[in-house]
Amino acid sequence: MTKRFLSGIKPSGDLNIGGYIGALRQFVQLQEEGECFFFIPDLHAITVAQDPKELRERSRQLAAFYIAAGIDPERNAIFMQSHVPAHAELGWIMETQAHFGEMSRMTQFKDKSAGKDNVSAALFTYPALMAADILLYGATHVPVGDDQKQHLELTRDLATRFNNRYGKTFVVPEPMIQEVGARVMGLDDPSSKMSKSNPNASSYILLLDEPKLIRKKFSRAVTDSDMSVRYDWETKPAVSNLIEIFSVFSGMGIGEVEKHFEGQGYGNFKKELAEVVVEKLDPIQQKYAEIVHSEELDRILRRGAEQAAQVANETLRSAKDAMGLLLL
Ligand code: TYM
């Protein structure tokens, strides 16, 4: 069976290297291995209030980053979730299949709603829409970071439940979580995920950060008390996180990185780390600047939405038919 990959990054904050390492970088590699659908889940972004102007800008920026990072729009559909109405429609159908109890156990919902008044109902039903995103395209594989694992398990459960009730309609997808870089942690605190929503800007590196800023942020990154560049999440989480980032950006294995820095202190390690990141981001930033305001980007998104809708509408129709919704 040919592999079908689907994934997306929310336009809810500026893209940082966590999303690049955990997701976007994988997307680029996977285009060689099967059919790909890479989208921008803007309907998921609005489960928390967004400034309209910023949301619009960030959506465009993300699409430009997809292309700048190396996704070939000629070969793969790149599209906005809100441009394909089937997502919202199948999202509703998946809500009818999801149980209140299992949705209540989603750790992302618990984290995002903790201590907040007036959380949107959509933040709660978010994973049902995510299941719809995946199932609409018959995705066999979903490349994501570690934090999406539970959502993927729920997607598998919902697909299986639906298939058992109404007959085989959906492909049950496999999550694809990398060994290195599945969970990039904050530079200020290795116990919390690198996140665009962290108020401390030194905790993350944005894809658009300038070289000077990247060097400054890495020089401030927390390390551990002993001085060796050694990979051990138990006793040296901060350095292990930096080693993973180095490994991904340099293409060196973890062992090779340790060897490379044997007998050297953290100062040198952080300097080289900043340089490999700067070097890798430079061509992406240049390409991004060429595309982000171009009309070509609009054409790519329009074409992507048309291609995606063809596949999505067919699955939606089968699902409705299987459930007994009257089709004309
Ligand atoms: P989002 O937008 O929070 O993150 C996008 C992708 O980046 C990964 N990621 C990370 N990986 C490693 N380290 C980090 N610090 C890090 N931060 C983010 C995430 O795991 C994710 O793969 N619900 C999804 C978006 C979504 C989706 C989908 C994904 C909606 N529908 C269907 C796949 C398939 C989300 O909020 O990701």
Closest atom of ligand 1 relative to the 6 alpha carbon: 34
255-270 residues labelled b (16+ CB within 10 A) or e (exposed): eebbeebeeeebeebb
Count Cβ atoms below 10 Å from residue 220 Cβ, excluding itself.
12
Residues 22 and 123 in one domain: yes
Q: State how far the Cα of 42 lies from the Cα of 32, in Å rounded to an integer.
A: 26
Contact 83, 301 (CB under 8 A): yes
Residue 227 structure tokens: 């001085």
| Residue 241 within a domain | yes
Residues 45 and 109 in one domain: yes
Q: What number of helices (H) and strands (E) belong to the chain?
A: 14, 5
**Over the stretch 270-282, which tens digit does the pLDDT of each residue have?**
999 999 999 999 9
pLDDT for 196: 81
For 236, half-sphere exposure in the C-beta direction (CA atoms, 13 angstrom radius) is: 17
Residues 213 and 283 in one domain: yes
For atom 22 of ligand 1, the residue with the nearest CA is 144
CATH number at residue 302: 3.40.50.620
Question: Is 19 a pocket residue for ligand 1 (Cβ < 6 Å)?
Answer: yes
Question: Mutation test of ligand 1: which of 4, 5, 6, 10 has the most ligand atoms closer than 8 Å to its C-beta?
Answer: 10
Residue 297 structure tokens: 């980007």
| Residue 195 within a domain | no
**Where in the sequence is the domain holding 261, given as residue range(s)?**
201-289
Distances (CA, A) of 170 to 83, 102, 166, 310, 319: 22, 20, 10, 16, 8
Instruction: Name the domain count of the chain.
Output: 2
Residue 95 structure tokens: 């809500």
Arithmetic mean of pLDDT, 20-26? 95
State the distance from the centre of ligand 1 to the C-alpha of 31, rounded, in angstroms. Answer: 18
- Enter the DSSP assignment of 13: S
Residues 221 and 132 in one domain: no
**Over the stretch 166-194, which tens digit does the pLDDT of each residue have?**
999 999 999 999 999 999 999 999 999 99
Mean pLDDT computed over every residue of the chain: 96
Residues 274 and 313 in one domain: no
| Residue 188 within a domain | no
For 83, half-sphere exposure in the C-beta direction (CA atoms, 13 angstrom radius) is: 20
Question: Mutation test of ligand 1: which of 137, 147, 192 has the most ligand atoms closer than 8 Å to its C-beta?
Answer: 147
Question: Is 223 a pocket residue for ligand 1 (Cβ < 6 Å)?
Answer: no
Question: Is 43 a pocket residue for ligand 1 (Cβ < 6 Å)?
Answer: no
Question: Mutation test of ligand 1: which of 44, 144, 184 has the most ligand atoms closer than 8 Å to its C-beta?
Answer: 144
- Enter the DSSP assignment of 20: I
Residue 315 structure tokens: 């699955």
Arithmetic mean of pLDDT, 133-159? 97
Query: What pTM was computed for the model?
Result: 0.96
Helices (H), 251-294: 254-260, 266-291
Closest atom of ligand 1 relative to the 16 alpha carbon: 17
pLDDT for 26: 93
| Residue 253 within a domain | yes
